[in-house]
Structure 1
Amino acid sequence: MEDVLRPIYQERASHPQTLGILMIEKGSDYSPETDLFDVVLFVIVREGEEPIFIKHYAFEEKSASLHIVDERQVKEWVLLGSNRKVMNWLLNGKVLFDRNEYIEQWRQRLLQFPIEERKVKMGIEFAKLVRRYIEGRSFFEKDQWLDAYNHVLHALHHLARLSIIENGFYPEVTVWNQVKHIEPQVHKLYAELVGSEEPLDKRLQLLFLASDFFIHSKLKQGASHLIHVLEKKETSWSMADLLNEQELAVYGVDLAILLEFLVEKHILSVEKIATKGQGVFHRHYMVEKKIKKRC
């Protein structure tokens, strides 16, 4: 297969912008890692005309997919976990071309998982966990049990990813297999939710109680990155300030709910700034003084 595709990837390797080329072959008849194609050629370029360019090929009754991706896009996928199969490609793909050991450096970085990147990813997963938990609780209180179940399932998934990251690993596609060995209590929650014979409302009730405990236990690590950013200045932050802060862009739509949750938990405090309207104030945010002392 590699011999047939050699002219395609050799042409890409000759481009000065190409940093590395990986080949990933389909593992089974139903292989989501290659989007069901027989083989994927993953080309990382320093700067492309567009962030993602894809071409499909047919050969010998087989199929191939060529992905040419800007390195900034790859970094975003890895940071946000928004394209999880790319992690497997980077770690396990066969290296066909590696300019100045670019792919090897990627692999070393993924295996070492620097603490600063870990904090950012924990913050992202914690924010998503909080949103799913709160939304699930709201549905549960309205007796909308199937919608509550859906949100709790997603909340547990974010909790599992958070646990894996906290232990120094990148979450893989097979998250539950990972977390079973890293934090079996979280895996047990998942098994009880999907496999218990208890009525659904009873299962959810127990899961919310357990989730309260786990969210509290992950609070310090989950809020660490946001606290670090807020402490960069002595004065409080308006919502506009926060939305314009590049380091916080990774939280997306989950930033507001995370802020409010941390206010409720007395991690952040609210400063009221007077407006022209009598009795109406702007809300600005800062880290609680007692938290700063601990840090």
Structure 2
Amino acid sequence: MEQFLRPICQEWTNRSDTHGILMIEKAVCHTAVTDTFDAVLLVIVDSQSEPVCLKHYSFGAEKAALYVVNEQKLNEWLVLGAPRKAIDWVFNGKVIFDRNDYIWQLRQRLEQFPPRERQRKMGIEFAKLIRRYIDGKELFMARHWLDSYNHMVQALHHLARLTVIEYGLYPEVTVWSQVKKMNGQIYKLYEELVGSEEPLPKRLELLLLASEFLIHSSVAAGSIHLCEVLKEKEGAWSIAEMACHPQLAPYSVDLAIMVEYLVERKVLAAVKGPTRGSGITERYYIVQGGEVQ
């Protein structure tokens, strides 16, 4: 496959804005990593170029995908964990071209997984976890079993990814094989939810109880990044100020529900601010400190 892709690689190696090229070939037991393509070329260019360019190619019976990604978008993928395949591509791809050791340095940074970056990824996963858990719980109370099941499966995935990050690793596509070695309790919950012969409402009821304990145990790790950002200034923050902060923007629509959850757990305190409306106050938030409740 590499010889067929050589002309395409040559086109990008001749460009001064190309930092590196990786090739990922399809594994027999792991086609999800390449979206069923026989090979994927990942070309990393500088931030002045277009964020993403995607092309598909055919060579007889074989097919290949080309992703051209600027370094800003690639860093966004790595922080958000989407697409999840990006981690596998960067870590496991074959280096075809590496200008000034760019890919080598990128891999070194990812392997070291700096604490600040790790905390931010934990915060993002924790926010997604809270969203899925609360929605799943509400749907369970409304007796929408299948919808609740869908949300709780996703909640367990976010809990699994959070666990992997706490161990100082990046979650891979095969995150459950990672979690199985790290936290047997979470892995067992997932097995029981998807494989138990108990009636679905009973499975969900038991999972919700167990998840509440596990989420509570993850509050400190999941909220440390948000709290560190909020401590950057004296006084309280509006939710709009938080959403506009570049470190918190990746939390996206899950930020608000995470903030309210942390108020309930007394990690954050909600304080009142005046508005022009009679009897209406605006909610602001500040780190409360003390033990997690």
TM-score w.r.t. length of structure 2: 0.96
- The answer to whether the aligner puts 1:169 opposite 2:169 as a matched pair is yes
Aligned to 2:235: 235
- 2-structure distance, mates of 1:67, 1:289: 45
In 2, the alpha carbon distance for the partners of 1:174 and 1:48 equals: 33
Q: What SS is found at the alignment partner of 2:247?
A: helix
Aligned to 1:46: 46
CA apart distance, 1:105 = 1.1
1:93 corresponds to 2:93 = yes
- Please give the per-residue CA displacement for 1:109-160, whole angstroms capped at 9, x wherever unaligned: 2222111111000000000110111000001111111111111110000000
* Distance of 1:22 and 1:285 partners within structure 2: 44
| Cα shift at 1:240 | 2.0
Matches of 2:186 and 2:29 in 1, distance apart?
31
Residue 201 (structure 1) aligns with: 201
**Cα deviations by residue, 1:138-194 (Å, 9 ceiling, x for unpaired):** 011111111111111100000000000001110000011110001111001001111
Rounded to whole Å, the distance in 1 between the matches of 2:16 and 2:277 is 60
Corresponding position: 1:219 with 2:219: yes
Cα deviation, 1:80-114, whole Å, max 9, x if unaligned, reads: 00111111111111101001111111111222211
Give the corresponding residue for 1:265: 265
1:210 aligns with 210
Note the C-alpha offset of 1:29. Answer: 8.2
Q: Does 1:84 align with 2:72?
A: no
Which structure 1 segments of 5+ residues have no match? none
Task: Return the offset for 1:36.
Answer: 1.7
Q: Distance in 1 between matches of 2:289 and 2:61?
A: 66
> Secondary structure of 1:261's match?
helix
Match of 1:103? 103
Amino acid across the alignment from 2:80: L
Q: Percent identity?
A: 54
Q: CA offset at residue 32 of structure 1?
A: 2.1
Scaled by the length of structure 1, the TM-score of the pair is 0.95
Cα shift readout 1:215-266 (whole Å, capped 9, x = no counterpart): 1100000000000000111111112211221111010000110111011111
Mapping for residues 273-284 of structure 1, pairs under 5 Å:
273-284=273-284
Quote the Cα distance in structure 2 between the aligned partners of 1:96 and 1:67.
Answer: 14
The residue number in structure 2 matching 1:2 is 2
Shift of 1:270: 1.1
1:62 alignment partner in structure 2? 62
Counterpart position of 2:125: 125
Q: Which one-letter code corresponds to 1:26 in the other structure?
A: K
Cα distance between partner residues in 1 of 2:5 and 2:139: 52
- What is the total number of aligned residue pairs between the two structures? 292
Question: What RMSD in Å do the two structures reach over aligned CA positions?
Answer: 1.5
Q: Following TM superposition, by how much is the alpha carbon of 1:289 offset from its aligned partner in structure 2, in angstroms? A: 4.5
2:284 is matched by which residue type in structure 1?
H
Unpaired segments ≥5 residues, structure 2: none
What displacement does 1:24 show? 1.1
Counterpart code for 2:193: L
